[in-house]
Amino acid sequence: MESYLKENFEVEPKNPTEEALKKWRSAVWLVKNPRRRFRMVADLAKRAAAEKKRRKIQEKIRIALYVQKAALQFIDSANRTERKLSEEVIQAGYDIEPEDLAYIVRSHNNKTYDFHGGLHGLARKVKVSLRDGVLSDDIPKRQQIFGYNQFVEKPQRPLWMFIWDALQDMTLIILMMCAVISVGVGIATEGWPKGMYDGLGIILCILLVVVVTAVSDYKQSLQFKDLDKEKKNIIIQVTRDGTRKKVSIYDLVVGDIVHLSIGDQVPADGVFIDGYSLSIDESSLSGESEPINIDKKKPFLLSGTKVQDGSGKMLVTSVGMKTEWGRLMVTLSEGGDDETPLQVKLNGVATIIGKIGLAFAVLTFFVLTSRFILVKFIRGEMGKWRMNDGLELLNYFAIAVTILVVAVPEGLPLAVTLSLAFAMKKLMNDRALVRHLSACETMGSATCICTDKTGTLTTNHMVVTRLWAAGDTKDIKTKEKLKSSISEKVLTVLLQSVFLNTNSEIVKDDTGKTSIIGSPTETALLEFGLLFQNNYTQEAKNVKIVKVEPFNSVKKKMSVLVSLSNGKLRAFCKGASEIILNMCDKVINEDGEVVQMSDKQQKAITDVINGFACEALRTICLAFKDIETGSTSDDSNSNNNDIPESNYTVIAVVGIKDPVRPGVKEAVKTCLDAGIMVRMVTGDNINTAKAIAKECGILTADGLAIDGPTFREKSDEQLKEIIPRLQVMARSLPLDKHKLVTFLRNELKEVVAVTGDGTNDAPALHEADIGLAMGIAGTEVAKENADVVIMDDNFKTIVVVARWGRSVYINIQKFVQFQLTVNVVALMTNFVSACTSGSAPLTAVQLLWVNMIMDTLGALALATEPPHDGLMKRPPIGRDVNFITKVMWRNIIGQSIYQLIVLGILQFNGKKLLNLNGPDSTAVLNTMIFNTFVFCQVFNEINSRDMEKINVIKGMFDSWVFMIVMVCTVTFQIIIVELLGTFASTIPLSGNLWLASILMGAVSLPVGVVLKYIPVESSTPSHDGYEPLPRGPELA
């Protein structure tokens, strides 16, 4: 079975090939209900059509943006007059029609832009202040006139459509036809109402199956809809009511002033207000990979594009479906998401079992019909055919079809979807947003987590605690003591460096409370600066910003060029201490004078940096350089205004405390116990990284810590030697992270999860088996390339995702074990009985009820079990392990043998054992067999809660879904036997027979205990497909 599955039903969890997707589709056979089975499977034809449509739209956009249709636009703009305003727009107080406003950016036409008065003209027409932004009170009015920033989405499918889908089951349709014929023939032969009971019972049971199935599918679809909306929700920084705020992308309106920085997605169409070195990647919209530089001459920004470099502000001119991105978004969701490896594998299992079931169904019908004809032949009645004979044959056909209903486990692939939907919802509550379904599965196999330090292992609440300036190291305790120990000249240039060289903003809320919007490092520096100077705007008033180079993870520094009040230019630079120190050849002394830096002074500063780092402090070096000659021209691209890269003067080195998050040490230990290696990959100083790694329990005595430059110099052979011991990589570039992930996956065959927050982390996130983006610190580009977004940036949440990943895999294995046991017993019981006695003890209605127990209700009970702590005491699931393990086969075969023995004894010797006499003894015996069979499944479902541990009751009462399913199954079984005998062909049982049924079912529990003492081959992976944990020093 496994070799067949690997050959035909194997797909990659990430970016599977079109060939693999087509291969398994062609291998699937005997699908009862394609509409339901493939509801959560990508529609390749629809996807191809959507891709074609998307490319057409992209081509149109590309032509509009780059070819510009110059002649046509020239004619258009020459003849263009302002459109007459509608009554609605006039009453709202605006001076431009929404269509005119949208056309300006969409056409990229400067003449139309100038026709409307440029930036300030547009701001006047949409009634917004470029300084204070939109007023909150105006938002409903703007949404009414200019629209909402939401895209047209497919409406949620109503419940009746899911009921219709469930009714498309081929076998159920055949059964309904049989039931209708049965009603007609029954009434004709047995009269009204007795003749209709058998057929009506089948119809009612089919309706029950359909409704339960449809409700389960409908609830899943609602969960996916909510998660999908959350995936698309982006938090944007805007200026409103004169202050900078964070708002949801859905709340953005025309007139909003949006702040953009590296890695952001442009949330709507708009025009450039101001900024520095703003570079936009428009490939998602136009297909063009070359970035576009945005300035006042090329001011148009399109929704859906990404900020590749720089920063800036934009005025929103159109939102939602009035943007080109809105039109494109409609095509992006067409065709659905790729199916997960488990879904594909279980489609394969369902195909194999379906073929076996079909053979049994055909054989059962053949044996029953042959015996019936043989009996008629022996009695010499071959020439006499009555209406009852036709009804008997129809009943045989219905039983054969019902066997097929039970045999084809349609619920197997759908159980994966159910389990994943449940896991995704629970993970959302645990602050993890799953973007790709397959990530839930793959995380259960993760053998290595490459994690960032800042914000993931640490709290990201940074505070400056140490300062080195003018040759002296100081603790930041009291403002007065610190101020008295620094000369006025040193303090002046230090505060200039803090307040001018920053990408953050100090804002006041409605209550007048000061807060800082920006990165945690910048926030810590600004809070430090505010200790000395409350009037933080004073520095900015006397200078003019000429050029800004925002921080990025490659250069590891941020620079700014300013024009001082005396007309001179000064450059400020801050960043990774060693890098900035190497750019400096001078230092400020205690008197505030700039002096040449000696080798001794450089070594002293290096010792300070290492000292701070060994105390687990993040070190930032601040420097400046006065430029005697230069231009202060507005042309920020001028070569005269390039920010220098050398000959700076060291101002200070600050040590920033970023405490380790509570619970991280325990979470790392949990990972090590679970066979998951944790590696820290950070841009910080190696001493800081080592100190934090030791505190977290990542760096062990025999572990290795290296820096990025050293790592880059190593050959592949050297990497093979060092990477198994590598626990910390410091001063790493995004390319180092990508190289490490690729090497771990391709050479060492590890299943790698990697965290990332910056734009440059996107390749590593994309390459990893599981990409984990940070929800708070992460850029939109990082999130878009990730499989899971960690909403609270906490390492503990990553461990929770790993637990759920393992839980999904194990839950599906439990369900498969349970369902295969029911399949084997139901098929063999009816087949053997048909061969020996010429009748089937389980009727069509009873088999339909059993099908619901093992399919929809079984999936609900077993596939939604929450994870337990024991899951993280096992090693990861191997890449190529058999899905149906020897442990599962042992349990399936053992339980099936027990149940078949019990049902066989009842079938052939039940009347004598149970002392059944009288005319209804056969009906009582068949009811007893049905009741015992159902209770065997109820107790076997409890058995399936754990495939290896003896105590299967532990935690059962905490799983409310499992308990509800158990109670409902038992309650409805009582109703079927005691009250619905007319439809279900049952007879009410005495108390003793009920007790006997329950006890025979309950014996499944001790049978399960005995089975678990039977050893399986140790050469195969133990623990349901898990490989044994390494012991001793190699575990570290």
User: What CA–CA distance (Å, rounded) separates 1034 from 1036?
Assistant: 5
Q: What is the largest CA-CA distance in the chain?
A: 125
Instruction: List, in sequence order, the alpha helices (H) in 648-685.
Output: 664-673
Check pLDDT > 60 for residue 794: yes
Task: Give the β-pairing of 704-707 and 726-730.
Answer: parallel
User: What CA–CA distance (Å, rounded) separates 159 from 221?
Assistant: 10
Q: What is the DSSP string of 570-584?
A: EEEEEEEHHHHHHTE
678: three-class secondary structure by DSSP: strand
Contact of 578 with 617, CB cutoff 8 Å: no
Contact of 468 with 836, CB cutoff 8 Å: no
Kindly give, in sequence order, each residue whose CB lies less than 8 Å from that of residue 743, ignoring residues fewer than 6 positions away. Answer: 716, 719, 723
756 falls in which pLDDT band (50, 70, 90)? confident
420 falls in which pLDDT band (50, 70, 90)? confident
Contact of 201 with 982, CB cutoff 8 Å: yes
Q: How many other β-carbons are positioned within 10 Å of the β-carbon of residue 180?
A: 14
Residue 505 β-bridge partners: 517
Check pLDDT > 70 for residue 327: no
Cα 30 to its chain centre, rounded Å, is 32
1023 falls in which pLDDT band (50, 70, 90)? very low
Check pLDDT > 50 for residue 636: no
E strand or H helix at 451: strand 448-451
User: What CA–CA distance (Å, rounded) separates 105 from 99?
Assistant: 11
Phi, psi of 188 (to 5 degrees): -65, -35
User: Is 297 exposed, middle or buried, given 0-12, 13-18 or 19+ CB atoms closer than 10 A?
Assistant: exposed
Task: Give the β-pairing of 704-707 and 677-681.
Answer: unpaired
| Three-state secondary structure readout of 226-249 | HHHHHHHCCEEEEEECCEEEEEEH
Read off the pLDDT of each residue in 765-772 and give the average, rounded to a whole number: 90
* 1029: alpha, beta or left? (left if phi > 0; alpha if psi -120 to 50): beta
> 343-357 pLDDT, tens per residue?
888 888 888 888 888
User: What CA–CA distance (Å, rounded) separates 911 from 965?
Assistant: 32
1018 falls in which pLDDT band (50, 70, 90)? very low
DSSP 338: P
Task: Report the amino acid identity of residue 414.
Answer: L
Read off the pLDDT of each residue in 441-469 and give the average, rounded to a whole number: 89
CB half-sphere exposure, 111, CA atoms < 13 A: 13
Q: How many other β-carbons are positioned within 10 Å of the β-carbon of residue 439?
A: 26
Task: Give the β-pairing of 448-451 and 463-469.
Answer: unpaired
Residue 678 β-bridge partners: 449
Question: Any idea how long the chain is?
Answer: 1036
Residues labelled catalytic: 452
69 falls in which pLDDT band (50, 70, 90)? very low
280: three-class secondary structure by DSSP: strand
In the chain, the percentage of residues whose pLDDT exceeds 70 is 88
- Tell me which of 267 and 858 has the higher pLDDT: 267
- Tell me which of 942 and 189 has the higher pLDDT: 942
> 502-547 pLDDT, tens per residue?
888 777 766 667 778 878 888 899 988 888 876 566 556 678 888 8
User: Is 596 exposed, middle or buried, given 0-12, 13-18 or 19+ CB atoms closer than 10 A?
Assistant: exposed
First to last CA, the chain: 37
Q: Please report, for residues 503, 748, 754, 765, the alpha-carbon distance to residue 738 in angstroms, rounded to integers and kept in the order given.
A: 27, 15, 9, 8
| Three-state secondary structure readout of 983-1005 | HHCCCCCCHHHHHHHHHHHHCHH
CB half-sphere exposure, 438, CA atoms < 13 A: 21
* Six token digits for residue 264: 């952001």
Instruction: List, in sequence order, the alpha helices (H) in 583-663.
Output: 599-614
Check pLDDT > 70 for residue 272: yes
Among 922, 746, 980, CA closest to 198: 980
Contact of 655 with 467, CB cutoff 8 Å: yes
161 falls in which pLDDT band (50, 70, 90)? confident
Q: Which of 214-223, 351-360, 679-688 has the least mean pLDDT?
A: 214-223
User: What CA–CA distance (Å, rounded) separates 504 from 481?
Assistant: 27
Q: How many other β-carbons are positioned within 10 Å of the β-carbon of residue 24?
A: 22
Instruction: Find the angle CA(303)-CA(305)-CA(306) to the nearest 5 degrees.
Output: 130
Strands in 526-661 per DSSP E: 544-552, 557-563, 569-576, 584-588, 594-596, 617-627, 648-657
Task: Give the β-pairing of 617-627 and 243-248.
Answer: unpaired
Q: Which of 340-349, 851-860, 876-885 has the least mean pLDDT?
A: 851-860
The pLDDT value recorded for residue 1025 is 39
User: What CA–CA distance (Å, rounded) separates 408 from 699?
Assistant: 51
pTM, 2 dp:
0.80
- Tell me which of 865 and 414 has the higher pLDDT: 865
Give the mean pLDDT of the chain: 82
Q: Please report, for residues 46, 159, 397, the alpha-carbon distance to residue 171 in angstroms, rounded to integers and kept in the order given.
A: 27, 22, 11
The pLDDT value recorded for residue 492 is 86
Check pLDDT > 50 for residue 140: yes
Helix 387-407 × helix 341-378 angle, to 10° = 160
> 797-827 pLDDT, tens per residue?
999 999 999 999 899 889 889 988 888 888 8
Whose tokens are 């917004």? That residue is: 128
* Six token digits for residue 576: 């990774």
Buried b (16+ CB within 10 A) or exposed e, 50-62: beeebeebbeebb
User: What CA–CA distance (Å, rounded) separates 323 from 112?
Assistant: 17
Kindly give, in sequence order, each residue whose CB lies less than 8 Å from that of residue 610, ignoring residues fewer than 6 positions away. Answer: 685, 687
- Tell me which of 573 and 843 has the higher pLDDT: 573
User: What CA–CA distance (Å, rounded) separates 132 from 893?
Assistant: 73
User: What CA–CA distance (Å, rounded) separates 85 from 92?
Assistant: 11
Read off the pLDDT of each residue in 932-954 and give the average, rounded to a whole number: 90
User: What CA–CA distance (Å, rounded) separates 474 from 483?
Assistant: 11
The pLDDT value recorded for residue 893 is 93
82 falls in which pLDDT band (50, 70, 90)? low
Read off the pLDDT of each residue in 186-210 and give the average, rounded to a whole number: 71
> 882-915 pLDDT, tens per residue?
888 889 999 999 999 999 999 989 988 888 888 8
Among 948, 934, 923, CA closest to 1008: 948
